[in-house]
Amino acid sequence: MLAMIDNLSLASLPPSSFLAKGILDGRSMTSVVLFFAAAMIVFWVLFRARHRRRARGRAPGGKLRPAADSRTGPLQAPPPDLDRWSVEMHETARDLSAQIDTKMVALQSLIRAAEAKELELKRLIEEAEKKQG
């Protein structure tokens, strides 16, 4: 085994290899060590946070805590403020719809009056052309 390790030399590694560069010049070795130290710190912080989240959900004996309110999901009643807001929104929508309908009726009436005036003007123009020509 030692013979195989002795046969392996730094010269056999391609010079573009990260490992060869890091070993050949000592400056890069420091950056590699710092990188791995930073990675270990990040993993430790993430693991610790995950462990704390799990521990919060457990009772002191290690068993899961029961939920404070067993009513969860779609059958749970909405808060009263939400009901009041929903009623107000429906009333507002109904009021706005009524206003829009009223304005549409008035607009249709104006369009019919404009079309009637257009027809009357066309008739008067035709009569005027007949009298001149």
pLDDT tens sequence across 57-74: 665 555 655 555 555 556
Distance CA 126, CA 133 (A): 10
For residue 10, give the DSSP letter: G
Distance CA 42, CA 22 (A): 23
pLDDT tens sequence across 15-49: 555 555 545 455 677 888 888 899 999 988 888 88
Per-residue pLDDT for 101 more than 90? yes
Structure tokens at 38: 């930073």
Q: Give the closest residue to 130 by CA, choosing from 94, 10, 122.
A: 122
Higher pLDDT, 4 or 77: 77
Model's pTM, two decimal places?
0.37
Distance CA 104, CA 108 (A): 6
Distance CA 113, CA 108 (A): 9
